[in-house]
């Protein structure tokens, strides 16, 4: 009994609580001051892709979201898209984090930073642990809505070696028009990373990196084959600033 | 303790070990937990097999939403963790805890309630995942409306098995009981921490470490202590000699208890979690891999001198190969956790291979060893077919070995190509042969599993025919019948 009590209290409870404090509670402290944003806050300024989606599929859109204001429709689409993203296990084959190593930045763009995950749609965060397909956290606007509509229906049609499953149930009977789920998942995927400045001069977050590491002869990687998209900031409080993203900077660019 | 282990299970004085209403152990409960475990394992394996076909672009069940490949992928992992491993461990606990303490579990009725409740939870998870109700927590995709029931289940299990441990007058607890005593607390705490906090309380970067801790603790603080406790109980029983070093096994226990919960963050190295947390996870992971080796040493030193058992006893074969796989896993772990390795292997099949090596190659192999040892005792009849036992062993071992090789090699190819900025399409083409190999190794494992199932069913049927007039066979009958035969 003495042995049992000792094992129960020290190993069972004590060490667990100690580890929780060290591995979970202390790492929470540096980001504890960040505001947790709601879906409505983030949906205040829908990205261009969502507005385009409404124009491309007016009937399906009206059927799915009625005649709600575009912000409310976007908030609803984000929630449904997020639930679909989880329920279909998208997050088991696509990560949502750009690491600071392994050439992730050259492939996908600016490295991940804490602020962008502090919101309702990252409870729990969808970082993922496997990349069969590409990372998605910088992919909003990378492909057109049309591409996504074709892709979700049968991915090998647009990417022949793709091993992504087909999602026929994202479509109306005709197999051409996305239904509510389809519109929502496209809205969600097109939203990912829309808060990051993807303008040509800030490809890969180059300005942030330059500010952090002011090397005289910085060799930038070649920009990806992508037309510069003038994007809305997709719900982050303020517009794109002139300098870096406040990653460890005094400037409170994101309004936190 | 020597007495309990060496006195063997049959000559423990009172109450009678099996049979009758007042037996020490409820054999039927053990049997039904094992049956449930096997059923869930079958579903999990078929799920894994199907999912591997999707990666070859040959999905056999198109256009059916509830059978979407992604959903089946989550069923694969969840049925393994909660359906198979946990049911098998409950069977193991029902068998071992009363023997180690000399006391009955809290209540027979509670035992049946746990069997029913736990399998309802697993069934609910299974249906929920098919319906797309998953929760975004790896290994914990159990829908949010089932989560509270799991916690209740964990509490019931703790009550059921703490009772005999506390009532026991044993002056010193055998090491298996140390593991069990801690693991019941850990199961509940881990589940609450991993499934409730990141879902309702904290978001994003604050919740990230919790996910890592949950993935890791479910394996490290539930599956691992149960597996070690099981190994430390059955190996000495089968070999009929005590473990080599009780002290070393306790070093393993305290090492596990201290270091294991500290490592969870290593599942998200490179994420925006503060670097001090990432470094501490790396250091403690390397530390525990050294501690874990004590288990492997203890196993092989116990086995030393009984080398013939590898030829004569199939249970020992399973434990032996499992221990060897454990050594491989530990070595692999200590290297792959470093940031150098992580750059390459983090998002690749290397990790998938590692997971199969641990969850299947070690713990499932040990559970197969336990089933090989227990099933004749539970049915009261020798195994129906010796040949099928061997087929099961060899098909599974060969299948697993090549599966892990294919996934590890494929992971390296994937990782280096991705780091070399090769387009995703080219990488997928390069991975195809590895995935094809994986599907074939899966066929090996599935066939081996089929041999086990056929053999279990046939044994039970033969046994029923042999004891027509008793409703179940007390296993002392078997002991008399097969005195002198191998385990």
A165/B270 CB distance under 8 A: no
The yes-or-no verdict on residue A105 having pLDDT over 90 is: no
The answer, yes or no, to whether residue A201 has pLDDT greater than 70, is no
B33, B255, B323 from B231: Cα distances, Å: 18, 17, 9
Residue A128 near residue A86 (C-beta atoms within 8 A): no
Task: For residue A8, list chain B residues with Cβ-Cβ distance below 8 A.
Answer: 181-182, 185
CB contact under 8 Å between B134 and A86, yes or no, is: yes
Give me the pLDDT at residue B210, please: 96
Between chains, do B133 and A87 touch, taking CB under 8 Å as contact? yes
Closest CA to B395 of B350, B341, B353, B449: B449
Does A164 have pLDDT greater than 70?
yes
Question: What are the CA-CA distances from residue A214 to residues A199, A205, A245, B343 (Å)?
Answer: 20, 14, 15, 25
Q: Do B348 and A130 touch (CB under 8 A)?
A: yes
pLDDT at A243 over 60: no
Our CA dihedral for A234, A240, A243, A248, rounded to 10 degrees, sits at -30
How distant is the alpha carbon of residue B73 from its chain centre?
Answer: 18
pLDDT value for A86: 97
Reported ipTM: 0.90
What pLDDT digit, counting tens, does each position of B166-199 carry? 988 666 789 999 999 999 999 999 999 999 999 9
Residue A218 pLDDT > 90: no
pLDDT interval class at A238 (50, 70, 90) = very low
**For position B18, what pLDDT does the model report?**
55
Please tell me if residue B145 touches chain A, with a CB cutoff of 8 Å. no
Cβ pair B182:A32 closer than 8 A = no
Q: Does B427 touch chain A if contact means CB atoms closer than 8 Å? A: no
Predicted local confidence at residue A21, as pLDDT: 95
Which residues of chain A are within 8 Å of residue B68 when distances are taken between CB atoms?
Answer: 88-89, 165, 167
Closest CA to A178 of A212, A152, A204: A152
Q: How many angstroms separate the most distant Cα atoms in chain B?
A: 71
pTM, two decimals, is 0.88
CA-nearest residue to B201 within chain A is A123
Name the more confident of A160 and A3: A160
**Range with the poorest average pLDDT among A134-138, A169-173, A237-241, B235-239:** A237-241
Strand partners, A178: A171
Ranges of chain B whose pLDDT falls below 50? 1-14, 470-487
Query: Does the beta-carbon distance from B261 to A20 stay under 8 Å?
Result: yes
Model confidence at A97, pLDDT cuts 50, 70, 90, reads very high
**Structure token pair of residue B440:** 């074939």
Residue of A30, A37, A89 to mutate when probing chain B, most B C-beta within 10 A: A89
Helix (H) or strand (E) segment spanning residue A249: none
Q: Collapsing DSSP states into helix, strand and coil, what is residue A119?
A: strand
Residue B296 corresponds to which tokens in the numbers above?
């492997």
Q: What is the mean pLDDT of residues A181-207?
A: 83
pLDDT at B464: 87
pLDDT (average), residues A131-140:
93
Interacting residues of B439 by C-beta distance below 8 A, sequence separation 6+: B49, B52, B53, B56
pLDDT at A111: 87
The secondary structure element, H or E, covering residue A132 is none
């Amino acid at each position: 009994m003495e042995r049992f009590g000792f094992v129960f209290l020290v190993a069972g409870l004590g060490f667990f609580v100690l580890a929780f404090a060290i591995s979970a509670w202390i790492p929470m402290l540096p980001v504890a001051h960040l505001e947790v944003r709601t879906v409505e806050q983030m949906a205040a300024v829908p990205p261009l892709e969502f507005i385009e989606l409404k124009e491309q599929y007016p009937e399906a859109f009206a059927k799915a979201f009625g005649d709600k204001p575009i912000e409310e429709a976007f908030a609803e689409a984000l929630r449904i898209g997020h639930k679909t993203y989880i329920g279909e296990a998208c997050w088991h084959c696509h990560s949502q984090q750009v690491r600071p190593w392994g050439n992730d930045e050259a492939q996908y763009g600016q490295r991940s930073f804490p602020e962008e995950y502090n919101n309702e749609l990252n409870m729990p965060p969808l970082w993922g642990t496997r990349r069969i397909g590409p990372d998605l956290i910088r992919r909003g606007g990378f492909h057109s809505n049309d591409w996504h509509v074709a892709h979700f229906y049968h991915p090998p049609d647009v990417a022949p070696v793709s091993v992504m499953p087909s999602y026929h149930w994202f479509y109306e009977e005709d197999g051409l028009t996305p239904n509510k789920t389809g519109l929502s998942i496209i809205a969600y995927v097109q939203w990912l990373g829309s808060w990051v400045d993807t303008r040509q001069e800030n490809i890969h977050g180059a300005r942030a990196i330059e500010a952090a590491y002011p090397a005289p002869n910085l060799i930038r990687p070649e920009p990806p084959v992508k037309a510069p998209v003038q994007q809305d900031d997709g719900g982050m409080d303020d517009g794109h600033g002139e300098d870096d993203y406040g990653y460890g900077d005094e400037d409170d660019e994101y309004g936190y | 303790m020597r007495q309990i282990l060496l006195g063997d299970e049959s000559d423990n004085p009172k109450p009678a070990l099996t049979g009758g209403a007042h037996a020490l152990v409820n054999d039927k409960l053990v049997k039904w937990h094992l049956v449930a475990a096997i059923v869930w394992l079958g579903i999990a394996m078929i799920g894994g097999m199907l999912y591997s076909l999707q990666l070859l672009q040959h999905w056999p069940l198109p256009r059916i939403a509830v059978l979407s490949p992604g959903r089946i992928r989550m069923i694969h992992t969840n049925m393994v963790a909660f359906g198979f491993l946990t049911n098998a461990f409950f069977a193991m606990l029902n068998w071992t805890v009363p023997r180690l303490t000399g006391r009955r579990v809290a209540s027979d009725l509670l035992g049946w309630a746990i069997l029913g409740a736990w399998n309802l939870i697993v069934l609910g998870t299974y249906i929920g995942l098919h319906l797309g109700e998953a929760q975004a927590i790896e290994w914990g995709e159990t829908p949010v409306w089932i989560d509270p029931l799991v916690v209740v289940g964990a509490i019931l299990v703790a009550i059921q098995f703490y009772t005999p441990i506390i009532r026991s007058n044993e002056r010193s607890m055998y090491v298996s009981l140390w593991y069990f005593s801690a693991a019941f607390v850990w199961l509940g705490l881990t589940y609450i921490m991993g499934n409730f906090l990141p879902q309702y309380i904290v978001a994003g970067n604050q919740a990230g470490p919790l996910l890592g801790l949950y993935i890791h603790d479910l394996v490290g603080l539930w599956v691992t202590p149960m597996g070690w406790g099981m190994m430390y109980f059955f190996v000495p029983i089968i070999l009929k000699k005590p473990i080599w070093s009780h002290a070393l096994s306790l070093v393993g226990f305290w090492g596990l208890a201290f270091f294991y919960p500290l490592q969870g963050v290593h599942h998200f190295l490179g994420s925006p979690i503060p670097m001090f947390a990432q470094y501490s996870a790396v250091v403690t992971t390397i530390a525990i891999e050294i501690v874990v080796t004590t288990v492997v040493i203890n196993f092989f030193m116990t086995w030393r001198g009984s080398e013939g058992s590898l030829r004569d006893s199939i249970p020992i074969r399973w434990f032996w190969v499992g221990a060897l796989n454990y050594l491989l896993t530990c070595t692999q772990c200590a290297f792959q956790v470093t940031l150098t390795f992580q750059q390459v292997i983090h998002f690749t099949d290397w990790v998938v291979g590692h997971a199969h090596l641990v969850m299947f190659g070690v713990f499932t192999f040990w559970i197969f060893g336990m089933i090989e040892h227990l099933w004749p005792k539970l049915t009261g009849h020798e195994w129906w077919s010796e040949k099928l036992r061997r087929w099961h062993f060899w098909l599974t071992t060969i299948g697993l070995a090549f599966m892990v090789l294919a996934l590890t090699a494929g992971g390296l190819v994937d990782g280096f190509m991705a780091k070399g900025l090769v387009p995703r399409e080219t990488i997928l083409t390069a991975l195809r042969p590895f995935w094809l190999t994986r599907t074939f190794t899966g066929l090996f494992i599935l066939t081996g599993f089929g041999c086990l199932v056929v053999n279990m069913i046939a044994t039970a049927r033969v046994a029923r025919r042999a004891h027509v007039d008793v409703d179940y066979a007390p296993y002392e009958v078997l002991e008399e019948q097969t005195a002198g035969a191998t385990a």
